[in-house]
Amino acid sequence: MRDSSPNPSLVAVVLLSLFLSMPGRALAGVVLDDWRGEVGRVRSMAENNVPLAYKEAQRLQAAIPADATPVDHARALNLLARTEVYMALSEQAKKHARLALELATQNADRAGQAEADLNIGLSSVNQGDINALVAVSTHSLAMLDGVNRPDLLGEALLRASVMYRRTGQFDASVTMAIQAMEIAKRSNDPLVLTYAHQGMGIAFEQSDRLEEAREHFLKMREQARAAHTKLLEADALTSLGSIAKVEGKLLLADRLIREAVAIHRKAGAPFNLARGLFAQAEILRSQGRHAEAFTLLNEAIEIHEGHANKIGLWWALNARSEAYRDVGNAAAMRADVERAAALAWELNQPLYLSESTWRMAGIAAADGDHKRAYRLSVDAAKMADKAGREKISARMLQLSQHYESDSKQRQIDELNRSKAQQESEYQKRWLWTMLLGSIVLLGVSGLFLRRLSRSNRLLEAANGQLSLSQNNQQATLDAIPDTLFELGLDGRCYGFHSSRSDSRIAPIESFVGKTLFDALPHEAVEICLSALRETQEKGMSSGKQFELTLPHGKYCFELSVARKYVGPKEAPHFIVIARDISERKFAEQYELFRSRTLELLFGGDSLPDILESIVRGVEQLNPAMICCILQMDSQGKHLVNGIAPSLPDFYNAAIEGVEIGIGVGSCGTSAATGELVIVENIATHPYWAVGKEVALRAGLSACW
């Protein structure tokens, strides 16, 4: 009998001939796949050996295959930008990241846009551009809406949490950190969990809850090792060492941070190394090893100077000024404080301005340039800051418990829904099996059931991916504390989302299905439309601001706008994030007011000029207030020389020389008792039995 099986040698020859006859496109595809694999390998390498990864990223950028897609080009640019960020080449990194963003935007590559945003954000921090950080942080979250990239989403939530913390929005920062943790637990990805534990650790550490912070940083180190990222492992060690230092465990702190510094030196990321050197120098100062501390601080300062990192240089200069103070070198201390203060004005952020202003005030106090009262005001400010941190600590625990409870409840609800769906699905399968079993042969039924089982597995996998994507999308939206709109180019609202139960801008029904002209003043609408037009031209817009006077006060909002991907024949739609920055604006105004007052004090201006500046400054910060400062005469019996520029002259003349005593108006009573006096109704209160006619004629009805 003749063997009909194919000849193996003949098969091999035929296959080889077919392979050699394939068009060049197929061979190029193999090369492109290899190139893509190399990009992923080098991205992992960047977390462990930065200089080598930088060279490899340059090589891959120069060797992009001819058949690479625009998405591949954006990915290569983002890889190069990330290695440049780690190499402290901030300007080059921002340039390549912006090219990647432009390319990804043109080709509706949302993951590429988000990755470029993250690289721009890291470069912006290194360059001290906090406003750019705010814009790209919110834009990256908007781009990841519905995109199944938990690694990018985890890092984006961490950067957004830190961004909110830098701008003083504590609740928003904690919300982001906890939502990131919830998403990380669902993904069970080591890198995502590393970012999430870092965010939670920072939030707990900065609110003085060290035990909880240590727990998260320990888990961060564990997950960083699982994710094979030495940079993040060293960051976790640095944070653990800083906590040990605060707790007075100096030997443990020294060991942990020395290990972190050794890892950073080997990995070759300059700014990460500088942070480790900074932390190690602080421990050496605590041990009285000043010479070693100066060596490390000088190295950190050289790194920041050599790579134009204003924020890092600000921290390092202030740390070295304290080290100079420890050894009694007042001239060197003054030089570092003044240089840091100049950097603070360049950064123009309340955090850095406030700290540098107080340090300059401390130098002036040491020189005897102001009175003891001012020195006491500095101590009072420090005590107030400590009290504020204690309140923040309680708020951190409250938010953490609240979101943990919510997370558990959501998991229970999802399990209940899943159980009900499974029971319904099982019932349907049983009925179909019984029906088909009665009309089909046993063999055909077996084949059908095998095919049905395979289809169900595929369907379950698809449903699982869909559910994960929906959960990530909803968690991302819930994590954003700002108000989100979907608008057309004409200002018509197609969608609305807010994690708040109310909207300060206007009620929800005022927007959906209507245009901005139906809900906002003309000036605000023009600003919004200009942001939409700018986004239509450039792909995104950020920083445009408008004010609204509402029944409960005046509020300021800042817009971040990104173009939403729609079909080729559809009108353009935009995602608009409206952030309430009223508190930030008030803080900036208050900082300017306080700085102006300090300038008057240091400049030797007259007391009436200083007091009038204070009165006008308080009235500007609180427009509903009319303020007055009265001075005590030399005998301590009357109030004279009133500073009240907003009160009518006849009223000021009437209260000039008023007697100090209980029942003599609000001011006379307060001066006599040394206590706070609040009168809710001048017309009926006994303190104003004499003088109420003048007060009422001046338009006053209550007095604090």
Span 568-583, pLDDT tens digits: 677 888 888 888 887 7
* Helix residue ranges per DSSP H, 167-309: 170-187, 190-206, 210-226, 230-246, 250-267, 270-286, 290-306
Supply the DSSP string of 15-27, one letter for each residue. Answer: HHHHHHTS-HHHH
The pair phi, psi for residue 575, each rounded to 5°, is: -95, 120
Coil/strand/helix, residue 632: strand
Greater model confidence, 557 or 452: 557
Q: What is the pLDDT at residue 311?
A: 87
Please report which confidence band the pLDDT of residue 472 belongs to, taking 50, 70 and 90 as the band edges: low
Query: Confidence class of residue 384 from pLDDT cuts 50, 70 and 90?
Result: very low
Answer with the residue of higher pLDDT: 621 or 479.
Answer: 621
Helix or strand run (H / E) with residue 576: strand 573-580
| Residue 22 reports pLDDT greater than 60 | no
Is the per-residue pLDDT at 694 higher than 70?
yes
Tens digits of per-residue pLDDT, 47-64?
999 999 999 999 999 999
Largest pairwise CA distance in the chain: 134
Q: Is pLDDT of 699 > 80?
A: yes
More confident residue, 442 or 486: 486
Report helix, strand or coil for 48: coil
What separation, in Å, do the N-terminal and C-terminal C-alpha atoms of the chain show? 115
Q: What is the pLDDT of residue 541?
A: 81
- The predicted pLDDT at position 71 comes to 92
Residue 395 has pLDDT above 50, yes or no: no
**Torsion angles phi and psi, residue 171, rounded to 5:** -60, -40
Cβ atoms within 10 Å, residue 90:
22
Range name among 82-96, 208-222, 347-361, 660-674 with the lowest pLDDT average: 347-361
Contact 154, 191 (CB under 8 A): yes
| pLDDT over threshold 70, residue 437 | no
Least confident of 184-188, 212-216, 470-474, 639-643: 470-474
Q: Percent of the chain scored above 90 by pLDDT?
A: 21
Confidence check: pLDDT of 274 > 80: yes
Residue 382, pLDDT above cutoff 70: no
- How does residue 355 score in pLDDT terms, banded at 50, 70 and 90? confident
| pLDDT beyond 50 at 44 | yes
Judged by average pLDDT, the poorest of 109-113, 276-280, 561-565 is: 561-565
In this prediction, residue 96 carries a pLDDT of 95
Residue 354 structure tokens: 């406030």
User: At residue 251, does pLDDT exceed 70?
Assistant: yes
Averaged pLDDT, 330-343: 87
Per DSSP bridges, beta strands 638-643 and 573-580 are unpaired
Cα distances (Å, whole numbers) of residue 639 to 216, 327, 385, 659, 690: 58, 48, 33, 7, 16
Percent of the chain with pLDDT over 70: 74
Closest CA to 584 of 351, 404, 375: 351
Q: With 60 as the cut, is the pLDDT of residue 554 above it? A: yes
Confidence bin at 505 (pLDDT 50/70/90): low
Residue 518 CA to its chain's centroid (Å): 32
- Which of the two residues, 112 and 408, has the higher pLDDT score? 112
| pLDDT over 50 (residue 9) | no
pTM metric for this prediction: 0.57
Q: What is the mean pLDDT of the chain?
A: 78
Distance of CA 198 to the CA centre of its chain: 13
The pLDDT score that the predictor gives to residue 400 is: 44
With beta carbons less than 8 A apart as the criterion, state whether 665 and 658 touch.
yes
Question: Which pLDDT score, from 0 to 100, does residue 15 have?
Answer: 33
Compute the Cα dihedral for 21, 25, 31, 33 and give only its sign: negative
Q: What is the pLDDT of residue 167?
A: 61
Quote the CA–CA distance of 702 and 510 in Å, as a whole number.
36
Asked if pLDDT for residue 5 goes beyond 80, the answer is: no
Burial track 126-144 (b if 16+ CB lie within 10 A, e otherwise)? bbbbbebbbbbbbbbbbbb
The predicted model gives 669-681 an average pLDDT of 91
Sheet holding 553-564, edge to edge: 493-497, 483-488, 573-580, 553-564, 540-550
Q: Which residue, 189, 241, 190, 197, is CA-closest to 215?
A: 197
Assess whether pLDDT exceeds 60 at residue 378: no
Choice among 182-191, 284-293, 346-355, 449-458 with the minimum mean pLDDT = 449-458
Listed range (67-81, 361-375, 591-605) with the worst mean pLDDT = 361-375
Predicted pLDDT of residue 258: 92
Residue 122 and residue 93 in contact, taking contact as beta carbons nearer than 8 Å: yes
Q: Note the pLDDT of residue 3.
A: 45
Where are the extended beta strands (E) located within 452-572? Answer: 483-488, 493-497, 540-550, 553-564
Given a cut of 60, is residue 419 above it in pLDDT? Answer: no
Q: Say yes or no to pLDDT of 645 above 80.
A: yes
pLDDT value of position 92 = 92
d(CA 618, CA 457): 68
Confidence class of residue 428 from pLDDT cuts 50, 70 and 90? low
Look at residue 259 in the predicted model and tell me its pLDDT: 94
User: φ and ψ at 406, to 5 degrees?
Assistant: -60, -40
